[in-house]
């Protein structure tokens, strides 16, 4: 066991947790209306913790053990045999205990589930969200995590590159969020009534925590304190900065004003874009991916959003979906050594790699959409996905949770 | 007794309060309101969602005064709250039927 590797992965696990609670929670919290702030905070916490529980029960096993190309097996149910208490011999995953790896990955499953609530924000019933999460994590997240990241997984064996989860986390949650937005329908008054973010400073705090935590998400995925981790670390910094710059400039050009929400969205867009690429591209590639993702995501939350016609309340698809696709594809290009990356030996290999990336994207999109639709359908039939009009008008906090965030 | 209700621009509060105090008029209740008359609102943009906000923040002042102070109050208020631009506000005067001081139980003009 390498102690430095262990410390780095352990610390990265904490950083990813920071991304969810409080990062994502506060980011989403500030974007919704005051009457729904507690509901979204609670949904983020609850989906995350439910995912952790399921991960422990069977998620890790089905995602990361060897069985077939689509899904794993049952040898690690309840994290069994990861702590060899009897003989003190713990199975290893590279240079760190496998238990450490399983814990790190638990937070990835958690954040993916938490992201989805953004697409259905302000009108989803709490119990239905929990039911949806349990079903979707099982049908949507586990197979894709297995196919992309587990040796033996279909896309892994094909050679699709995804360093920290562009497909597994971002495209996956982005699609699921979009499907959810279609399934649950638009918020009452959408397009006519004012639905401004109720607390942008709160969103900024959340986005900042996401930004910082992302270094654990990306550089921690090196699973070691090594050069790949350093590359992922610096690429994360550069791409996030590039994302902000791109969004600020594009907004300035097209809307006449740069906004705070735009700047923090740009950071996130850059971070999403670099997620599949973090340890797989050079630093010039990171700049370009950040600028590209920052730009495509502006389109994702404007033109594309209008074209799609769904009320993706917190832009889960517009940023995580679009940014994830942008990054996943560009990873195939900038992985090449000729372009500064650590991978492909000649530029002639780029078209094939790009095709493999596209395969990964398409498989994820289709699988995630089907799994999401089924999960929403089942959650709806058992728990009723959407609140009724009165609850939606008054606010979820007071009706579903018996609390209000703010008192006059 | 008259109730003076004045709608003014929020930043004018201190000026108005001081001006009224100088002419011997103390006491008012202030409420934060929003409204519009002829003043145009503004647009807000949050990612792809654009909102036209018609309502502008204003302050509503309420003062209960004896009849002989009303004209002075209006003059002073207008001078202090005036900027010359659309949206300066309005003053409404209504009759008060009765007023009571809670601490002492006094009623009528001595309650003001």
Residue B106's contacts (CB-CB under 8 Å, 6 or more residues apart) are B100
**Whats the size of chain B, residue-wise?**
112
pLDDT at A391 over 80: yes
DSSP H/E element including B45: strand B42-46
Question: How confident is the model at residue A401, as a pLDDT?
Answer: 97
Contact: B51, A255; criterion CB under 8 Å: no
Distance from CA of B39 to the nearest CA of A (A): 19
For residues B15 and A283, give the distance between their C-alpha atoms in angstroms, rounded to a whole number.
57
For residues A114 and A47, give the distance between their C-alpha atoms in angstroms, rounded to a whole number.
5
A315 touches chain B (CB under 8 A): yes
Mean pLDDT of A289-302: 97
Domains and their CATH numbers in chain A: 3-401 (1.10.3430.10)
Note whether ipTM > 0.85 here. no
Helices (H) and strands (E) in chain A, counts: 18, 2
Phi, psi of A70 (to 5 degrees): -105, -40
Q: Which two tokens stand for residue A325?
A: 């696709």
For residues A313 and A36, give the distance between their C-alpha atoms in angstroms, rounded to a whole number.
12
- A&B contacts, CB < 8 Å: 27
Pairing of strands B49-53, B42-46: antiparallel
B42 touches chain A (CB under 8 A): no
Q: Which two tokens stand for residue A303?
A: 């033109």
What sign has the CA pseudo-torsion A391, A301, A164, A376? positive
Nearest by CB: B45 against A195, A259, A303: A259
The owner of tokens 């509060």 is B13
Question: How confident is the model at residue A31, as a pLDDT?
Answer: 97
Q: With cut-offs at 50, 70 and 90, classify the pLDDT of residue A54.
A: very high
Q: With cut-offs at 50, 70 and 90, classify the pLDDT of residue A40.
A: very high
**Cα atoms in the 13 Å half-sphere on the side-chain side of A103:** 16
Rounded to the nearest 10 degrees, how much is the dihedral formed by the CA atoms of A24, A234, A162, A300?
A: 50
% of chain B with per-residue pLDDT over 70 = 100
Peptide bond into A22 cis (omega under 30): yes
Helix (H, G, I), strand (E, B) or coil at A187: coil
Task: Please classify residue A214 by burial: count the beta carbons closer than 10 Å to its beta carbon, then call 0-12 exposed, 13-18 middle and 19+ buried.
Answer: buried
Question: pTM of the predicted model, to two decimals?
Answer: 0.92
pLDDT at A408 over 90: no
- Return the domain boundaries, chain B: 2-111
What sign has the CA pseudo-torsion A372, A378, A382, A384? positive
Q: How far is CA A170 from CA A130, A377, B49, in A?
A: 20, 22, 23
Q: Which two tokens stand for residue A83?
A: 């702590």
Tell me the pLDDT tens digit for each residue of A148-197.
999 999 999 999 999 999 999 999 999 999 999 999 999 999 988 889 99
B55 touches chain A (CB under 8 A): no
A46 touches chain B (CB under 8 A): no
Q: Which two tokens stand for residue B95?
A: 């009759």
The candidate with the shortest Cα–Cα distance to A235, out of A275, A291, A267, A269, is A275
Question: How confident is the model at residue A319, as a pLDDT?
Answer: 97
Q: Could you tell me the fold of the domain covering B2-111?
A: Alpha-Beta Plaits (3.30.70)
pLDDT at B37 over 80: yes
Q: How many CB atoms lie within 10 A of CB B32?
A: 9
DSSP H/E element including B56: strand B56-65
């Amino acid at each position: 066991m390498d102690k430095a590797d262990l410390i780095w992965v352990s610390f990265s696990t904490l950083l990813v947790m920071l991304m969810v609670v409080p990062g994502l929670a506060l980011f989403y919290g500030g974007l919704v209306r005051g009457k729904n702030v507690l509901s979204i905070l609670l949904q983020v916490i609850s989906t995350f913790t439910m995912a952790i529980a399921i991960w422990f029960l069977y998620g890790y096993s089905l995602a990361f053990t060897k069985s077939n190309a689509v899904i794993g097996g049952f040898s690690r149910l309840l994290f069994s045999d990861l702590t060899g208490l009897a003989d003190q011999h713990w199975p290893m995953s590279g240079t760190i205990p496998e238990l450490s790896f399983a814990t790190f990955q638990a937070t990835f499953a958690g954040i993916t589930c938490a992201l989805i609530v953004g697409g259905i924000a302000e009108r989803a019933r709490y119990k239905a969200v929990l039911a949806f999460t349990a079903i979707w994590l099982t049908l949507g997240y586990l197979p894709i995590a297995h196919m992309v990241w587990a040796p033996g997984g279909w896309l892994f064996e094909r050679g699709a590159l995804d360093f920290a989860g562009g497909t597994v986390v971002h495209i996956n949650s982005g699609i699921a969020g979009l499907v959810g937005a279609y399934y649950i329908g638009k918020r009452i008054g959408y397009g006519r009534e004012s639905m401004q973010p109720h607390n942008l400073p709160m969103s900024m705090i959340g986005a900042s925590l996401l930004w910082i935590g992302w270094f654990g998400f990306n550089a921690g995925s090196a699973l070691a304190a090594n050069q790949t981790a350093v590359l992922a670390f610096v690429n994360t910094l550069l791409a996030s900065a590039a994302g902000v710059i791109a969004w600020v400039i594009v907004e300035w050009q097209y809307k006449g004003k740069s906004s705070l929400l735009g700047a923090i969205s740009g950071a996130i867009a850059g971070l999403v874009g670099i997620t599949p690429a973090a340890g797989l591209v050079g630093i010039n590639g990171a700049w370009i991916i950040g600028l590209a993702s920052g730009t495509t995501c502006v389109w994702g939350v404007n033109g594309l959003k209008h074209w799609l016609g769904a009320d993706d309340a917190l832009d889960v698809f517009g940023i995580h979906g679009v940014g994830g696709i942008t990054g996943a594809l560009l990873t195939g290009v900038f992985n090449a050594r000729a372009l500064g990356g650590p991978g492909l030996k000649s530029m002639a290999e780029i078209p094939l790699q790009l095709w493999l990336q596209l395969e990964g994207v398409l498989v994820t999109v289709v699988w995630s959409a089907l799994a999401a639709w089924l999960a929403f359908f089942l959650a709806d039939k058992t728990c009723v996905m959407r609140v009724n009009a009165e609850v939606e008008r008054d606010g979820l906090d007071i009706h579903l949770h018996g609390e209000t965030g703010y008192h006059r | 007794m008259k109730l003076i209700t004045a709608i003014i621009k929020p930043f004018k509060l201190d000026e108005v309060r001081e001006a009224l105090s100088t002419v011997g008029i103390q006491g008012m209740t202030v409420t934060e309101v929003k409204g519009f008359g002829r003043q145009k609102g503004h647009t807000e943009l949050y990612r792809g969602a654009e909102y036209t906000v018609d309502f502008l923040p204003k302050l509503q002042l309420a003062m209960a005064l004896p009849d002989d102070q009303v004209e002075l109050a209006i003059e002073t208020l207008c001078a202090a709250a005036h900027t010359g631009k659309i949206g300066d506000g309005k003053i409404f005067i209504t009759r008060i039927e009765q007023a009571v001081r809670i601490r002492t139980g006094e009623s009528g003009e001595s309650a003001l």
